[in-house]
Structure 1
Amino acid sequence: MGDLEFKSAVETTLKVIGGKWKPLILCHLTEGVKRFGELKREMPEITQKMLTQQLRELEKDGIIHRKVYTQVPPKVEYSLTEYGQSIREVLDVMSQWGRRHQKRMREMDSSITK
């Protein structure tokens, strides 16, 4: 039973923050409040449509907050919600694993070229 709970919890996590762009968006938002254009500049490969879609999904899941200012031109800011701040722990673990993997790959590459 515990194995099924583990798999189900991982699946739930991936439904909320999985994919190519959501973890990157969240990494940028851990730095603080960002406007749409800032996020787009920091991730030049993401399309405007994809960024909009990913932000909406994260907002729907209560991970980020979207604040709209009624002014001309319109101003919209994105930030992590209090609940969304908890994702930092997951991103930290992903970063640690990524660093270990990068090191391992470099070591494998150097052993092949010897």
Structure 2
Amino acid sequence: MHQEDVICNEVELAYEIIGKKWVCLIISSLMDVPKRFSEINCLIPDLSKRVLTERLKELEDYGIIFRNVITDRPIRSEYSLTRKGHDLGVALQTVEAWGKKWL
């Protein structure tokens, strides 16, 4: 296997992750401060709770977001970006700027 093949696999995986519907908006919503599930859901009203749950789990599995369980009553979870996720968010802000300028 050549070095180029490995790089291509990594790039392909990156596009696969951000190419899933709603992923970029979820990451964008978490750029400033951690948010609860309901807060993310309110910011992206067309996103169903089922799909939001799936995407959050996928992003957590990739190490892009961190789920913090707060044990106060009532028990709740907050989602925040990991360092890896924040770096991705910064990269996506360039795409957002392009969209605002050209679309």
Is this a same-fold pair by TM over 0.5? yes
What's the % identity of the aligned pairs?
A: 35
Corresponding residue number in structure 2 for 1:95: 96
**Could you tell which deviates more after superposition, 23-32 or 70-79?**
70-79
Alpha-carbon distance in structure 2 between the residues aligned to 1:37 and 1:56: 15
Question: What whole-Å deviation, never above 9, does each CA across 1:5-54 have from its counterpart, x for those lacking one?
Answer: 66434311122222220000000000210000000111111110000000
SS at match of 2:77: strand
The aligned residue for residue 31 of structure 2 is 30
The structural deviation recorded for 1:55 is 0.2
Aligned to 2:82: 81
- The TM-score, its normalising length taken from structure 1, stands at 0.77
Evaluate the alpha carbon distance shift between residue 13 and residue 32 of structure 1 in structure 2; reply closer, same or farther with a 3 A threshold. same
Shift of 1:72: 3.2
1:42 alignment partner in structure 2: 43
Larger Rg: 1
Report which stretch shifted further, 41-50 or 92-101: 92-101
The one-letter code of the counterpart of 2:91 is V
CA RMSD of aligned residues (A): 2.1
Instruction: Specify every segment of 5 or more residues in structure 1 that has no aligned partner in the other structure, as ranges.
Output: 103-114
CA distance in 1, matches of 2:67, 2:81: 9
Q: How many residues align?
A: 102
Give the alignment's TM-score, normalised by structure 2: 0.84
